[in-house]
Amino acid sequence: MEDNVVIVAACNPAGRKSLSQGVSRECDLAKEWASGHYQVNELPPTMAGLKWEYGALNAEQEKEFVLRRIEMMDCNIPTYLAAEMTELVAISQEAIRSFAAKDIQRSLERNSFCGCVELEARTRARSTVSLRDIQRVFSLFKFFTG
């Protein structure tokens, strides 16, 4: 491969102010439980044209993803149980987002964050859980049923 070619699989958002006072976001990892778990770097200016923000799934899309993922499993799960599992996963995702939003809001207020603290906290909390977490549910399910 050429030295000037870099393959990019995914990029996480950069540029948010750290939740830990006096610490850059890159150094903030593991200091606050809801600050993010991934090393984030600014994109080089030459890649700005390739950046595409697709956002997060809304609640109904997330439930649809879970239900379809359950249906793809090799075991015969009754319809009522698939619906119950979907609801449980959705409720757990929202519970973690709610806990994170409260914690992030306290951190932002403590660090004298300028702006709408509640909206910023909710926005940041959206990414505290992800489709990866949903995939982990199915790995655990398969472990116990497989």
Q: Answer yes or no: is pLDDT of 13 > 90.
A: no
Within a domain: residue 28?
no
Answer yes or no: are the C-beta atoms of 70 and 90 closer than 8 Å: no
Place of tokens 């790995």: 139
Q: Domain range spanning residue 92?
A: 59-145
- Name which of 49-53, 74-78, 84-88, 116-120 the model is least confident about: 49-53
d(CA 14, CA 43): 8
Within a domain: residue 96?
yes
Within a domain: residue 99?
yes
Q: Answer yes or no: is pLDDT of 35 > 60.
A: no
Within a domain: residue 95?
yes
Within a domain: residue 94?
yes
Within a domain: residue 24?
no
Mean pLDDT of 12-37: 55
Within a domain: residue 50?
no
d(CA 42, CA 14): 6
Within a domain: residue 139?
yes
Mean of the per-residue pLDDT values for the chain? 78
- H, E, C per residue of 93-112: HHHHHHHHHHHHHHHHHHCC
> What total of structural domains would you count in the chain?
1
- Comparing C-alpha atoms, which of 11, 5, 138 is closest to residue 75? 138
